[in-house]
Chain A
Amino acid sequence: MEGFLELFGEYDVVGAFWVNIQLTFWAALWSLVLGTILAVMRISPIASLRWFGTAYVNIFRNTPLTIIMVFGTLALWSQLQVNLSGDFQLNFFRLAVLSLSVYHAAFVCEAIRSGVNTVPLGQAEAARSIGLSFLPAAWLIILPQAFRGAVAPLGNVLIALAKNTTVAAVASVAEASGLMKTMIEFRPDLMTQIFLTFALGFVLIVIPIGLLTTWASKKLAVAR
């Protein structure tokens, strides 16, 4: 037990989890933006945009995140010399955020689309009858209700995203799973305790997100 506590004095576990939380935050923001744009494309009257949205979702939903992450580092950075920052570490952090956002945007798009499905027909008809065309109707009437109906599936995407930030280890971002590996290599005799600590860390991140989104989805649900 003493060696265990000592180990945590030596390694910055909280700092590593903080990196995961930051990855989650930025990737959630960007994937929400990208996913919303894709969702609007997929419900728009313009066939080419619908096609693009569908193609995007089908491609990125079916590609392993690991490949996207490896692509971000080995192809984008090392082959194509794409630099998102002059700072070496910040560059990898941003590449990881980019990979996570591109991947999860496909799921955000599907979540919002399922939210659109909860909006009754009459809302769209009412919007049309007062003279709104597609974009104003989508922006003022449909999407606000769709977002409120999509809170639960969006919460699931957020939980998956929080767990998937560990894959950033592939892009050599110093986050929790990489630190766990180092710590177990240093003290193999304590590996079970170390694993349980890190696992508990993720349980502590994931469960509040779950509780919060469940609460919010009930609170925000449109009474019909």
Chain B
Amino acid sequence: MSQSVLFDAPGPRARRRIMVGNILGTLFILALLALVVYGLAEKGQFDAAKWNPFIEGRTWEYFMLPGLLETLKAAGVAIVTSIVFGLVFGLGRLSSVKAISWVAGLVVEFFRAVPVLLMMIFFYQFLSKSTPVPSSDVPFVAVVLALTLYNGSVIAELVRSGVFGLPKGQREAGLAIGLTRSQSLRIVEVPQALVAMLPALLSQFVVILKDSALGTFIGYTELLGYARRLASGEGNILPALLVTAAIFIILNMILTFAAQRLSRLLGARAGALLKTDEAVDPEGVPAPVR
């Protein structure tokens, strides 16, 4: 149901009322913004000294860009490893061998229920204790491991539901031309499921990117960590956090936009193939929570 059906095509009187509402709404929003801006200005948050660092090349060269690089490094590696993990365990869950599908199901359900931060703390302490990982790499490895186990489990579920969403004829056709059950899964079903789940996969990347910021808590200095470092030198924590948040928002909106375009594209192409009995969000992909 689109929003327009909630109210009639407005006549002259309703249009007037909507206009009045619109003006009041705009005033309300502006008042809210003014209140925030005034409050911040009152506390000296708009002093040039607090914002100037962000127009100096030095800040970007030594803080924001290296931080962004670390964030992208952790998120990038975690994206690749999560996909691998997700494929392995997604296929495991679909396995016709009961034991394999049971174990894969247990692993996936467990790691989906455990908070990422809890895993990060554990792996950080575990790896700094008794492993060949060099101590300078421990925070990075812990971040990637925790992100992989959680997001890989979510992706495993995506793979499974993608295969379940395919019409039964696909498997039957595979079996009919003499493929075994697992061959048909690998050659016929999973490739189609992967295409269908691409938009949801891209949305999951948003989650990985956002959660990589948790790394700062276990000493992996990424964008947020660098921003705090900058702020402790310049005394401008509020501007630093706002700029950091803006960078994350831009990156994530690009990913979300790509996911929406992709789902529209695929919807036009492969939509006929997939049983989508759920109400499809008009804007494309339902955002994963977290």
Partners in one complex: yes
User: Which of B6, B110, B279, B290 has the most chain A CB atoms closer than 10 A to its own CB?
Assistant: B6
Interface contact A191-B129, CB-CB below 8 Å: yes
Please state if B121 and A180 are interface contacts (CB–CB under 8 Å): yes
Please indicate the chain B residues that have their CB under 8 angstroms from the CB of A74 in the complex.
Answer: 228, 231, 237, 241
Distance in angstroms between the alpha carbons of A75 and B227 in the assembled complex: 13
B121 touches A181 (CB 8 A): yes
Other-chain contact of A128, B7, B114, B211, B281 (Cβ < 8 Å)? B7
Are B122 and A195 within 8 A (Cβ)? Answer: yes
Q: Would you call A58 and B249 a contact (CB within 8 A)?
A: yes
Stretch at the interface among A2-10, A60-68, A94-102, A215-223: A60-68
Q: Are A167 and B126 in contact (CB under 8 A)?
A: no
Alpha-carbon distance between A74 and B239 when the two chains are bound, in angstroms:
12
The number of chain B residues touching the other chain, given as a range, is 35 or more
Q: Given A62-B249, A63-B249, A114-B281, do A177 and B115 touch, yes or no (CB 8 Å)?
A: yes
Asked whether B110 lies within 8 Å of A203 as measured between CB atoms, the reply is yes
| Set B209, B249, B253, B279: member contacting A114, Cβ < 8 A | B279
Decide: A198 and B6 in contact? CB cutoff 8 A: no
Q: Could you tell me the distance between the alpha carbons of A50 and B7 in the complex, rounded to whole angstroms?
A: 14
9-residue interface stretch from B85-93, B158-166, B183-191, B212-220: B212-220
B residues less than 8 Å from A66 (CB atoms)? 213-214, 216-217, 224
CA distance A176 to B241 in the complex (A): 26
Contact stretch, chosen from B21-29, B96-104, B259-267: B21-29
Say yes or no: B122 contacts A191, CB within 8 Å: yes
Say whether, besides A117-B1, A170-B217, A63 and B122 are in contact (CB < 8 Å). no
What are 11 A-B pairs at a CB distance below 8 A? A64-B209, A64-B213, A64-B214, A64-B245, A70-B241, A80-B45, A117-B281, A163-B115, A163-B290, A167-B117, A181-B125
Chain B residues proximal to chain A, CB less than 8 Å: 1, 3, 5-8, 10, 18, 21-22, 25-26, 29, 39-40, 43, 45, 110, 113-118, 121-122, 125-126, 129, 206, 209-214, 216-217, 224, 228, 231, 237-238, 241, 244-245, 248-249, 252-253, 256, 279, 281-282, 286-287, 289-290
**What is the interface of chain A, defined by CB distance below 8 A to chain B?**
42-43, 45-50, 52, 58-59, 61-68, 70-71, 74-75, 78-81, 107, 110, 114, 116-121, 124-125, 128, 133-134, 137-138, 142, 153, 156-157, 159-160, 163-164, 166-167, 169-170, 176-177, 180-181, 184-185, 188, 191-192, 195, 198-199, 202-203, 206-207
